[in-house]
Amino acid sequence: MTLEMLKVSGLRSHIYTSLAILMANPANIAELEKPIETISNAMNELSELPFFRPTECLGFLLKEEKEDKLKLMVEYTRLFVTAHPKAPCPPYESVYESEDRLLMRNSTLNVLDFYRKFGLSLSDTFKEPPDHIATELEFMHFLTFKEAEAWRDNDKPKALQFLRAEADFTLNHLSPWVPVLQKCVENHSEISFYRSTTCFLREFVEMDTSFIKWAAKNLADNSDST
Amino acid sequence: MAAETRREFLRTTASAGVIGLLGEKAVLNALKLIPPAGGKPEVFPPLESYYTSCGVCHSQCGIRVYVRNGIIKFLEGNPGDLHSGGKICAKGIAGGYLPYAPDRLKYPLKRTNPEKGIDVDPKWVTISWDEALDTAAGKLNEIKEKYGPQSIIFISQPTSFVERLRKALGSPNRITHHDTCIITHVVVEKFTIGAKLWIYDFPNSKYILCFGWDQPSKGKVVLTRRFSEAKRRGAKIVVVNPLVTLMSSQADEWISIVPGTDLAFALAMINVILDENLYDKDYVEKYTNFKDYEDEIRNWVKDYTPEWASSITGVPAETIRRIAREFATSKPSVIPIHKRDPPGPNYANSWKLCHAIIILNALVGSIDNVGGWLFTKGVKIPSLDKVFPPPSYPEPPTSEDICGRSKLPLLNKVKLGIFSTLANNILSKNPYEVKAAIIYKYNILSFPNPKKLVEALKKLDFIVSIDILPSEAVQMADIVLPDCTYLERAGYSVRIFNGWYPQVSVIQPVIKPMFDCRSADWIFCELGRRLVPDYFKKQDGTFFTPTEYLEAALRNGIGLSFEDLAQRGLWSKPGKFEPLMTLESRAKAGKRIQIYGETFKKYGYDPLPSWQPRKEKPTAEYPLYLIITRPPVHRHTKTTDNPHLLELYPENVAVIHPETAEKFGIRDLEEVWVESRTGRIKIKAKLFEGIRKDCICVSHGFGHWSKGLIYGYGRGANDGDLIPDQTVDEIITRGDPTGACCMSDVCVKVYKA
């Protein structure tokens, strides 16, 4: 079980970091095919588990042809940054927290507290608030990675600690918010790339949340089954 | 921020086994590990507080901002500040929202749609600062080489960094807003009193007469708090205004007047005061040139009787006579003026009203006197040119500027500019063709007839916009550079509006700039380094930075480092006001208040403010006077995208008297068209008994058409669409030395929408 969990958490970690890259501004990303390829491979392996089924949206994402970079940048700017009319889907959790659509509200502080608890702060080069979708996804990448490390070290209590943190973070932040963001992108995107990406994002967060819930419960209950 | 194949988290933790298993992976690097030396990460950081200055309006009141987790929680006034005195207005409190506005500009943007105009999507794409600055500098340089530096115009607040770039490029085109704001005051005060005066000793005034002066209704803390003290101490307040405002409600007497005829009222007051010898003889003889021109002055004013004025103003002659007597005998008395009141650039005769008010204040001895109108005690902070002297600036290829300021000699002597002629002159290529514009801190909606300016800007090859929000100016730009808010930048503020004694208030970044925003000073330095590098260097040949300037300027000016000033919030040199001291020393130097405008005469202008009617009068087609005012909780177009302030004042309306409304078949809150010869706006009518029946009043600041503004877009209407722009020849023919825009000199009609 330990070895398996090490692999599973490692693969999930791969998917989270790839999604973080896909949800960041493409102006700063060298190759977008790579994270898609990583997701594809990781999902292939993960699909052995009942929680991670290859879905329709994954199919859409994999079919995304190499999109013209400028077109992608214009669309990212229009959807998420600045647009005329207004950018319809600001990628910040706090914007969806209330009807006022403000930045740096409670959810921002909550995720910042999360990061701090785990010894992290925002990097100086990534100029976005703590609750940018890419930052939150990268945090999940961190937690899953630390979980993998713990499994590698046969430190089950520590692994479960990270698993619980993943549950806490995703249930309070990603799970409630990602579907709203995805709906927004589905309604407003003019090209398929971000529709496919957020569609898979929503599905993966759903699948992973079910997995985390299961794992946190069952692994804790069967503490001697490793 | 690039997604490099790095392993930030792995680096501190990984063993070969795990890397082997997980493989090489790309990480965005949005997060980083807090170095172990930093100790235990603080989950609940304490509330920190920083002194700084508000940046919503030019008062720049001293404030204290409370920050937790690097996020602004709330702010309050700084009690030691001469401006705020610890108080702060609604606009100031709501200013804490600005850094977090979801629609604020976040990264440099490049336009990918060459088509420009209202409702055209620029199809933005975010680009790096290097690409943005290189593109902007490259394009500006190309235009300068091909068409000459005069083809580049600066529609910018003239900060010292902006001016360094403009002068180094050799462009004569400094386009500023003053003809829509304060130009009459500055020019007339400069050439009669000798300086622009900002301070009123209201607490010691016994009689305050306001010709449309309405600052408390505009929420200007700096003027309101001292005015309130006068009120508490029992000063008599008289308000002359066609509209009942908050000020009128505080007044002992409200006098309704035909808009744009205050000059007749003021002339009749001068007539009564001189006729009845109610003026302060000692003061007038000592500090003004009255004695030298007494015959001319008495002869000039003799026909301006209260009866004559009554026929123009609609105010009973007896009222004018009584007010003149009260004003002259209830000393200390004062007539305050500030920005867009009737002596501001509102009417064709505003500059003369300004002169007449100066004469009235001089006749009762209120200038530089207890309870009166005082000279500012400023602080000399060395300018950028003093701290880092530039090589000599190149001579612009022509001394003519695109606004025609150079044709108005007195205006040309003060460093202020004109908005109203720009669109016409760009479109008619008069005196030459403009190819590029740098727009900073100004918005298109603030111009008279802004739609014409949009057409003019469409003719340009290249526009750079430096802004905080996606304003209308941004929508016309090719390159957009995101500016910091005042809560994210460093600087200082000199207390000119209430400079009782020299005081400096710090401006410090209370939070790190959000997103990838940079301060405008930094932006202009970067453009300068690329375009005219020699002008942005220190003597040792290395480039200077805004921080270096700030540090040197403060050390030389007030002997404090920036850090020291930031700690203290304020630097002050308290002193007592000595009545008449400035006038005394000026008189010794042979400089007296020019009741008779010798300078005006020298330049061919009217030396005494003889009666001149307003430009537009009601006609059968346009039967109503337009009055424009500003809401107390908004600062022009700048705050009408702020949801907190919009909650208090969501949109502007057309205020109209119920009887007039009935005449035109208009009901309360019904949508109407208000139309002038320039344009028309669709707006809700609001019926109100406190306005003259021949007037309609619209508040300024609304009518955003930039769809990038998530709260401001589509609210209310822009009064500017009703205001005509003008040509320099019109200004010259009118005999106005100031270049006033005549913002309210407009008549309109109203009809159901």
The per-residue pLDDT for range B542-589, each reduced to its tens digit, is 999 999 999 999 999 999 999 999 999 999 999 999 999 999 999 999
Instruction: Test A6 with B2 for CB contact under 8 angstroms.
Output: no
- CB-nearest to B643 from A82, A100, A113 is A100
- Residue B506: pLDDT band (50, 70, 90) is very high
Mean pLDDT for the stretch of residues B464-468: 98
The pLDDT value recorded for residue B619 is: 98
Give the alpha-carbon dihedral of B639, B641, B646, B652, to 10 degrees.
80
The per-residue pLDDT for range A76-109, each reduced to its tens digit, is 999 999 988 889 999 999 999 878 788 998 899 8
Picking from A46, A77, A110, A111 by the largest number of B CB atoms within 10 A of its own CB, the best residue to mutate is A77
pLDDT > 60? residue B399? yes
Q: How far apart are CA A142 and CA A111, in angstroms?
A: 13
Predicted TM-score (pTM) of the model is: 0.94
CA distance A196 to chain B (A): 20
Mean pLDDT for the stretch of residues B339-356: 96
Count of CB atoms within 10 A of residue B131's CB? 14
The pLDDT value recorded for residue B37 is: 53
Q: How far apart are CA B291 and CA B434, in angstroms?
A: 50
- CB-nearest to A145 from B9, B30, B123 is B9
Count Cα atoms within 13 angstroms, Cβ side, for B15. Answer: 7
Residue B109 pairs with which residues in a beta bridge?
B126, B480
Query: Per-residue DSSP letters for B231-287?
Result: HHTT-EEEEE-SB--HHHHH-SEEE---TT-HHHHHHHHHHHHHHTT-S-HHHHHHH
The per-residue pLDDT for range B150-206, each reduced to its tens digit, is 999 999 999 999 999 999 999 999 999 999 999 999 999 999 999 999 999 999 999
- Residue B235: pLDDT band (50, 70, 90) is very high
CB proximity list for B92: less than 8 A, separation 6 or greater: B54, B56, B61, B63, B75, B77, B84, B221
- Residue B44: pLDDT band (50, 70, 90) is low
CB proximity list for B564: less than 8 A, separation 6 or greater: none
The pLDDT value recorded for residue B18 is: 36
CB proximity list for B537: less than 8 A, separation 6 or greater: B388, B543, B544
Q: Which of B184, B242, B307 is nearest to B618 (CA)?
A: B242
- CB-nearest to A29 from B3, B44, B71 is B3
φ, ψ (nearest 5 deg) of residue B480: -115, 130
CA distances (Å), B438 to each of B60, B122, B431, B526, B536, in order? 25, 17, 19, 14, 18
Q: Which of B510, B713, B620, B695 is nearest to B71 (CA)?
A: B510
- CB-nearest to A134 from B23, B30, B706 is B30
Mean pLDDT for the stretch of residues A132-138: 96
Mean pLDDT for the stretch of residues A139-163: 94
CA distances (Å), A202 to each of A47, A137, A186, A191, B556, in order? 17, 12, 11, 18, 59
For chain B, the average pLDDT equals 93
- Judge whether B567 and B560 are in contact, CB under 8 Å: no
The per-residue pLDDT for range B70-79, each reduced to its tens digit, is 899 999 999 9
Mean pLDDT for the stretch of residues B354-361: 98
CA distances (Å), B362 to each of B329, B423, B679, in order? 14, 39, 41
Q: Which residue of B has its CA nearest to A89?
A: B102
Q: How far apart are CA B750 and CA B621, in angstroms?
A: 10
Cα B485 from chain centroid? 17
Residue B65 pairs with which residues in a beta bridge?
B50, B75
CA distance B29 to chain A (A): 7
Instruction: Test A152 with B15 for CB contact under 8 angstroms.
Output: yes
The pLDDT value recorded for residue B372 is: 97
The pLDDT value recorded for residue B605 is: 98
- Two structure tokens written together for A181: 């963001």
Cα A75 from chain centroid? 20
The per-residue pLDDT for range B293-344, each reduced to its tens digit, is 999 999 999 999 999 999 999 999 999 999 999 999 999 999 999 998 999 9
CA distance B561 to chain A (A): 27
Mean pLDDT for the stretch of residues B100-121: 95
Q: What is the count of residue pairs from A and B with beta carbons less than 8 Å apart?
A: 191
Instruction: Test B31 with A108 for CB contact under 8 angstroms.
Output: no
B148: left (phi over 0), alpha (psi -120 to 50) or beta: left
- Two structure tokens written together for B604: 């061919």
The pLDDT value recorded for residue A41 is: 92
- According to the 3-state scheme, what is the secondary structure of chain A? CHHHHHHHHHHHHHHHHHHHHHCCCHHHCCCCHHHHHHHHHHHHHHCCCCCCCCCHHHHHHHHCCCCCHHHHHHHHHHHHHCCCCCCCCCCEHHHHCCCCCCCCCHHHHHHHHHHHHCCEEECCCCCCCCCEHHHHHHHHHHHHHHHHHHHHCCCHHHHHHHHHHHHHHHHHHHHHHHHHHHHHHHHHCCCHHHHHHHHHHHHHHHHHHHHHHHHHHHHHHCCCCC
Instruction: Test B27 with A29 for CB contact under 8 angstroms.
Output: no
Q: How far apart are CA B577 and CA B584, in angstroms?
A: 14
- Residue A54: pLDDT band (50, 70, 90) is confident
- CB-nearest to B515 from A109, A125, A128 is A128
Q: Which helix (H) or strand (E) holds B505?
A: strand B503-507
Q: Which of residues 156-215 of A touch B (CB under 8 A)?
A: none
The pLDDT value recorded for residue B6 is: 38
CA distance B450 to chain A (A): 19
Residue B200 pairs with which residues in a beta bridge?
B373
CA distances (Å), B752 to each of B625, B664, B692, B717, in order? 18, 8, 20, 15
Q: Which of residues 75-104 of A touch B (CB under 8 A)?
A: 76-78, 81-87, 90, 92, 95, 100-104
The pLDDT value recorded for residue A223 is: 52
Instruction: Test A138 with B30 for CB contact under 8 angstroms.
Output: yes
CB proximity list for B640: less than 8 A, separation 6 or greater: B634, B646, B701, B702, B704, B711, B712, B715, B716
Percent of chain A with pLDDT over 70: 96
CB proximity list for B346: less than 8 A, separation 6 or greater: B260, B340, B628, B740, B742, B743, B744, B745
Instruction: Test B26 with A38 for CB contact under 8 angstroms.
Output: yes
- Judge whether B623 and B694 are in contact, CB under 8 Å: yes
Percent of chain B with pLDDT over 90: 89
The pLDDT value recorded for residue B218 is: 85
The pLDDT value recorded for residue A218 is: 86
- Residue B91: pLDDT band (50, 70, 90) is very high
Mean pLDDT for the stretch of residues A192-203: 95
The pLDDT value recorded for residue A221 is: 65
Mean pLDDT for the stretch of residues B464-474: 97
- CB-nearest to B2 from A28, A76, A84 is A28
- CB-nearest to B121 from A38, A84, A125 is A84
B107: DSSP letter: S
- CB-nearest to B708 from A14, A83, A124 is A83
Q: What is the CATH number of the domain that holds A95?
A: 1.10.3480.10
Whether residue A70 lies within 8 A of chain B, CB to CB, comes out as yes
Mean pLDDT for the stretch of residues A198-217: 94
Q: Which of A109, A85, A101, A104 is nearest to A180 (CA)?
A: A101
Mean pLDDT for the stretch of residues B363-382: 96
The pLDDT value recorded for residue B20 is: 37
- Judge whether B133 and B530 are in contact, CB under 8 Å: yes
The pLDDT value recorded for residue B315 is: 98
The pLDDT value recorded for residue B10 is: 38
The per-residue pLDDT for range B710-728, each reduced to its tens digit, is 999 999 999 999 999 999 9
The pLDDT value recorded for residue B101 is: 92
Contacts 24+ apart (CB under 8 A), A171-178: A171/A209, A172/A110, A173/A93, A173/A107, A173/A110, A173/A111, A173/A114, A173/A131, A173/A136, A174/A136, A174/A137, A174/A140, A174/A205, A174/A209, A175/A205, A175/A206, A175/A209, A177/A93, A177/A96, A177/A107, A178/A133, A178/A202, A178/A205
Instruction: Test A121 with B34 for CB contact under 8 angstroms.
Output: yes
The pLDDT value recorded for residue B38 is: 52
Instruction: Test B708 with A73 for CB contact under 8 angstroms.
Output: no
Q: Which residue of A has its CA nearest to B43?
A: A113
Q: Residue A97 is part of which domain span?
A: 2-225
pLDDT > 60? residue B17? no
Cα B608 from chain centroid? 28
Cα B13 from chain centroid? 56
Instruction: Test A24 with B1 for CB contact under 8 angstroms.
Output: yes
Mean pLDDT for the stretch of residues B137-148: 98
Which segment, B32-41, B63-72, B262-271, is predicted with the most confidence on average? B262-271
The pLDDT value recorded for residue B496 is: 87
- Residue B459: pLDDT band (50, 70, 90) is very high
The pLDDT value recorded for residue B282 is: 97
The pLDDT value recorded for residue B25 is: 55
Whether residue A3 lies within 8 A of chain B, CB to CB, comes out as no
- Residue B31: pLDDT band (50, 70, 90) is confident
CA distance A81 to chain B (A): 7
Question: Tokens 């950081």 belong to which residue?
Answer: B45
E strand intervals along B89-192: 109-111, 124-126, 152-156, 174-175
- Judge whether A27 and A73 are in contact, CB under 8 Å: yes
Q: How far apart are CA A12 and CA A174, in angstroms?
A: 15
The pLDDT value recorded for residue A1 is: 44
Q: What single-letter amino acid sits at B25?
A: K
Question: Tokens 């308290």 belong to which residue?
Answer: B574
pLDDT > 70? residue B42? no
Count of domains observed in chain A: 1
- Segment among A61-70, B53-62, B65-74 with least mean pLDDT: A61-70
